[in-house]
Structure 1
Amino acid sequence: MTYCVGMKLDQGLVFMSDTRTNAGVDNFAVAKKMFSWTVPGERSITIMTAGNLATTQSLVSLLEERSKSPEERNPNILHEKTMFQVARLVGATLKEVIAESTPEGQASADQFSASVIVGGQIMGGQPTVFLVYPAGNFIEITDDTPFFQIGETKYGKPILVRAYEPSMSFEDAIKLLLVSFDSTVKSNLSVGLPFDLQVYEVDSFDNSRSKRIEQDDPVYQTISNGWGDALRDAFRQLPNYTF
């Protein structure tokens, strides 16, 4: 399992993913789930993956290989003219990878399932985020649905729903995501640190603002401990229910 979130703000986009992969309750490893492509001044694209690790690694490898040989290997993620076309390419490539891995049909295909968040900006368009399903179809982020989650989503969603504001700063958005991820880590062993973080500012066409947040990160530890204390204090201040 995994946990990834792509969020749209007035200022731009924020992406965060965990890095844990597991093959049993006592067999954990670290695997990168966030990948980026950029053409300075022209486009910035980020994808995050969840699901079967062989499928997601094949997807990223295929996109990467085709992006490096545009004259021979089209379609190409660096040639698509809009983010909608990028999402369609990612969806088609994901569907291709799953189909090639599952010659025995749909029942087998479920074992190789994966989902993807793809976001960014291409010159002439606005920053946006898409959620790509295993079948290759996808949906786009909206004002009513300002963030997408993939993987183990249920534990980290309540704080996002309650606290998200489109006008919030990148710093507040990162704090919100850290609370969401910390809640998930504490509830599910299949999600874990380190976290990969990337911030994209509108019209910057630059995805270099990224960071890996380790277990001993002092800000993360302060937020994790502080959120737990704040919840206990808030609970004690609520009125008792009498009957």
Structure 2
Amino acid sequence: MTYCVALRLDRGLVFAADTRTNAGLDNIATFRKLHIFEKKGDRVIALCAAGNLAVTQSVISLLQERSHDETLTQPTIMNATTMFQVARVVGQAVRDVKAIDGEALAANSENFGVSFLLGGQIGNEPPRLFQIYAAGNFIEATEDTPFLQIGEHKYGKPILDRVTRADMTLGDAAKLVLISFDSTLRSNLSVGMPIDMLLYNTGTLEVSRQTRIEPDDAYFRDLSQSWSDALRDAFSQLPPFDV
């Protein structure tokens, strides 16, 4: 399984994705699910993937191949002029992979189900964030819904619902995202570290704040313990239930 989350804020974008994939309890591996496309001074685009690993890798590979094919006349992820066009490019790639592999997967009772979080900035256009579905259609994050999630999202969603604000700093947003991951990791063994993160500041048009949170990361360990302590303390301060 997978957990990916992205926030679109006034100051920029925050992305995070776990790296665990498994085909049973005895077949666990690590694969990058946060992919970045960058042309300094022109665009930064991030793409998080969830679902059938073979399908998501095919979509990513197709996007990469097309971005280097100078004979193509249709837009690619590296020359589309708006993030909306990029979302359409990714959606088309999903449909193209499904057209090739979908029938064979269905014949073998394999699930095509995939989803993506796509965000970034092109030129002077404000940063935008989209969620792309297995059919190739998509929705866009708004002021009312400034974050999007894919994969095993239910455990990490409550803290995002309560705390996310469009005017928060990227540092606070990263802390919030890691708490969301901590809740997910505690409740679902199919989501696992390391966690890949990208913090993108609006207008920079380059990747400068990218990291991988390893299982032994001191900050994440302290954050997890502090959050647990804070929850226990808050619970103890609540009025007692008296029947």
Instruction: Please state which band the TM-score falls in when normalised by the shorter chain.
Output: over 0.9
2:116 aligns with 116
Kindly provide the CA deviation profile for residues 52-109 of structure 1, in whole angstroms up to 9, marking residues without a partner as x: 0000000111111111223347442111110000001101101211221122687878
SS at match of 1:102: helix
Distance in 2, Cα, partners of 1:36 & 1:70: 20
Distance in 2, Cα, partners of 1:134 & 1:108: 18
Residue type at the aligned position of 2:144: D
1:206 aligns with 206
Alpha-carbon deviation of 1:208? 3.1
Distance in 2, Cα, partners of 1:231 & 1:77: 43
Distance in 2, Cα, partners of 1:205 & 1:220: 28
The answer to whether the 8 Å contact 1:66/1:73 transfers is no
2:125 aligns with 125
Task: Describe the shift of the 1:177–1:190 C-alpha distance in structure 2 as closer, same or farther (beyond 3 A).
Answer: same
Distance in 2, Cα, partners of 1:187 & 1:81: 41
Alpha-carbon deviation of 1:180? 0.1
Distance in 1, Cα, partners of 2:143 & 2:109: 33
Task: Describe the shift of the 1:55–1:220 C-alpha distance in structure 2 as closer, same or farther (beyond 3 A).
Answer: same
**Mean CA deviation greater in 202-211 or 67-76:** 67-76
Task: Describe the shift of the 1:110–1:117 C-alpha distance in structure 2 as closer, same or farther (beyond 3 A).
Answer: farther
1:9 aligns with 9
1:171 aligns with 171
1:55 aligns with 55
Residue type at the aligned position of 1:203: G
Residue 232 of structure 2 corresponds to residue 232 of structure 1: yes
Alignment of 1:185-200 (within 5 A): 185-200=185-200
Percentage of pairs with the same residue? 51
TM-score by length of 2: 0.96
Unpaired runs of at least 5, structure 1: none
SS at match of 2:118: strand
SS at match of 1:222: helix
Distance in 2, Cα, partners of 1:98 & 1:234: 48
Alpha-carbon deviation of 1:237? 0.8
Alpha-carbon deviation of 1:167? 1.2
Alpha-carbon deviation of 1:130? 0.3
The number of equivalent residue pairs is: 243
1:64 aligns with 64
Distance in 1, Cα, partners of 2:109 & 2:140: 25
Distance in 1, Cα, partners of 2:219 & 2:105: 47
Residue type at the aligned position of 2:42: E
The answer to whether the 8 Å contact 1:66/1:75 transfers is no
The answer to whether the 8 Å contact 1:8/1:166 transfers is yes
The answer to whether the 8 Å contact 1:66/1:74 transfers is no
The answer to whether the 8 Å contact 1:70/1:76 transfers is no
Distance in 1, Cα, partners of 2:206 & 2:41: 8
Q: Show structure 1 runs of 4+ deviating over 6 A.
A: 105-110
Residue type at the aligned position of 2:242: T
Kindly provide the CA deviation profile for residues 7-49 of structure 1, in whole angstroms up to 9, marking residues without a partner as x: 0111000000000001112321100001111111111111000
Alpha-carbon deviation of 1:150? 0.2
RMSD of Structure 2 on Structure 1 (CA): 1.6
Alignment of 1:16-165 (within 5 A): 16-72=16-72, 74-103=74-103, 111-165=111-165
Distance in 2, Cα, partners of 1:152 & 1:52: 14
Unpaired runs of at least 5, structure 2: none
TM-score by length of 1: 0.96
